[in-house]
Amino acid sequence: MKQIALYGKGGIGKSTTAANLSAALAGEELDILQIGCDPKHDSTRMLMHGTWIPTVLDLIRERGDEKITVDDVVYRGFRGVRCVEAGGPEPGIGCAGRGIIATFQLLERLDALKGDVIVYDVLGDVVCGGFAMPMREGYAQEVYLVTSGELMSIYAANNIAKAIARLSRRVRSRCTLGGVICNAKNIEGERDLVEEFARRINSRLIAYVPRDRGVQIAELHRQTVVEYAPGSDQAAVYEELGRTIYGNRTTSIPTPLDMDELESFALEFVQV
């Protein structure tokens, strides 16, 4: 079983990337489980044709975890991808990371953490204890950083690389960095920038996902690109990403940049 996690800045496109990745992998006749680890609980929505599935944390609040079954939390989406949403607390109340912890505990009890590939889609702006749990507890064995060429996106990716480097020293943790995915924003020189960033943190660019209006159109139709436009160039990008990640055997312990190095790096690529 291959367990991967997509981390990155909020709004960078992790959920779109994760859903299309899962759809592409399922097209290879693989058993895929995607777990949304974000309080927005929208990770699996395009796989579910727009349906907002019940979150684990909501169900626990309503019933208590002892009365919850697999069918209550695991839903079949496009191509049979099994979908789970951790959820989160009411805004302004409680710890958002608690939803992730509760979800993993419940799925373990229900023996639902299985398949050929598990895809964890994790919020990455703040790598607190809850959001770091997939890495810290040995679930996310390969972490993929989703970023663009924007400085704050690179900054968030670098912070996550710091967490991977720190957690990789723990006995229980088995997380390593699988690579960097550039989800493009059409910034001049963006591919070169992200590729060089990956190199400097001891990793590599494993995919460049171009910005394409077809993604928005597919999501307006409540579908992944892989489902809505299966013969499109953009669908081919996600399919190639799936093959690359599934076949990836090269991971690393990152060497994140300090703040001065990060700012100097950014200046090298920005015309001022």
Residues with a known catalytic role: 9, 14, 40, 125
Tokens for 116, please give them.
């050929």
Q: Which of these, 143, 89, 87, lies nearest to 120 by C-alpha position?
A: 143
What is d(CA 129, CA 123) in angstroms, rounded to the nearest whole number? 12
- First CA to last CA distance, the chain: 47
**Sign, Cα dihedral of 105, 106, 107, 109:** positive
H or E segment at 203? none
What's the token pair of residue 58? 């909501």
Q: Which of 86, 77, 74, 271 lies closest to 187, judged by CA?
A: 271
3-state secondary structure 145-197: EEECCCHHHHHHHHHHHHHHHHHCCCCCCCCEEEEEEEECCCCCCHHHHHHHH
CA dist 76 to 11, 44, 73, 110, 192, Å?
25, 10, 10, 16, 38
